[in-house]
Chain A
Amino acid sequence: GAVVSQHPSRVICKSGTSVKIECRSLDFQATTMFWYRQFPKQSLMLMATSNEGSKATYEQGVEKDKFLINHASLTLSTLTVTSAHPEDSSFYICSARQTGGLSSYNSPLHFGNGTRLTVT
């Protein structure tokens, strides 16, 4: 089945530094990838939609200058948390939907295993 690889799985960084998280679709192409943030025991909160070759679409309340998204190829999207602060500590998850198909909107998402970010 389709696999999405997310790296790193865990990262600890100091306040003020930047952290880059990678999301790769390993055996399929994904023109669109999604970035989520998840707090303990809660559902996924969509942060932004990453579109290959164009600017990401950010959800209301998500700072685009703080959470930089780059989707340079059909298999790779990156999320960079800039000038991280302790309140940015969270579980970040990416997902991708396979490109094409008769009914793309109904196609399931394939998720990475998430990145646990801790900012000290």
Chain B
Amino acid sequence: TQLLEQSPQFLSIQEGENLTVYCNSSSVFSSLQWYRQEPGEGPVLLVTVVTGGEVKKLKRLTFQFGDARKDSSLHITAAQTGDTGLYLCAGATDSNYQLIWGAGTKLIIKP
């Protein structure tokens, strides 16, 4: 069974601080997707990383895919209250049409 361990599950920090969310697995993924979900809404795709070692930036968010394509991280610089939400990572494999989901990270940014 493929697993994707996401940590931390909950994070509450002050506005302006930096944070990193991790997703780790013993399995290799063909790509890894990061989603953000607000209460009462469906998840929205932030980024897809495909190549081992790839780094993608989305304003203050930096996404990295591990060299071996088994892990990924999301780093937020100078967090803002608008970053509050549930962040989900999901791994895709070439052998399974379904995504493997992480447990999610509930992020709260306090003003």
Interface residues of A (CB under 8 A from B): 4, 6, 9, 32, 34, 41-44, 46, 49, 91, 93, 95, 97, 103-106, 108-114, 116
Whose C-beta in chain A lies nearest to the C-beta of B104?
A: A43
**Residues of chain A contacted by B98 (CB below 8 angstroms):** 34, 46, 49
**Size of B's binding interface in residues, CB under 8 A:** 29
Contact B97 A6 (CB under 8 A): no
**Residues of chain A contacted by B13 (CB below 8 angstroms):** none
Contact B97 A95 (CB under 8 A): no
Is B48 located at the chain interface by the 8 A CB criterion? yes
Q: Count A-B contacts at CB 8 Å.
A: 65
Whose C-beta in chain A lies nearest to the C-beta of B100?
A: A46
Smallest CB separation, B5 vs chain A (Å): 11
Smallest CB separation, A77 vs chain B (Å): 14
- A49-B97, A103-B30 known; 9 other A-B pairs, CB under 8 Å? A41-B106, A43-B101, A43-B104, A44-B43, A91-B40, A105-B96, A105-B97, A106-B92, A109-B33
In the bound complex, what is the Cα–Cα distance between A97 and B33 (angstroms)? 13
Contact B40 A106 (CB under 8 A): no
